[in-house]
Amino acid sequence: MSIEKQNEHYKNGEQVRREVMGDEFVDRALNNANEFDQPLQDLVMENAWGSTWNRNDLPKDTRSLVTISMLIALKAPNELKGHVRGALRNGVTKEEIRAVIMHASVYCGFPAAIEAMRAAKEIIDTWEG
């Protein structure tokens, strides 16, 4: 393990990422990393998870809903799917996820909301399945 991965932000980030996204998701992300994209994985782990998600000023369920809304705006369905699963793991209900998507439709546009609804439904169906 590299020195970078030993730092506190990385360790805290991995713990939080596993809590939110689940071991299977994190293991897949780490195992699929290669020499080219490993620096980005480290940056995500340290900054997104070890710093931002590790803050105590918002509860994780609220942070999940905020993240979902931003991913809708970015039209990032693959990342959205991961964070819908994370939101469900954080105790967010499918009704709350749907409400965020509906609300985002006004600000992000109906095409973005429709795409987000499809992505979220896929994950929710699997979650409930």
CATH code of the domain made up of 60-128: 1.20.1290.10
Q: Are 62 and 91 in contact (CB under 8 A)?
A: no
Q: Where are the domains of the chain?
A: 3-52, 60-128
| pTM for this entry | 0.89
pLDDT at 113: 98
Q: Are 23 and 15 in contact (CB under 8 A)?
A: no
Q: Are 70 and 58 in contact (CB under 8 A)?
A: no
DSSP H/E element including 128: helix 110-128
Residue pLDDT tens, the chain, 129 long: 455 545 888 999 999 999 999 999 999 999 999 999 999 999 999 999 999 999 999 999 999 999 999 999 999 999 999 999 999 999 999 999 999 999 999 999 999 999 999 999 999 999 998
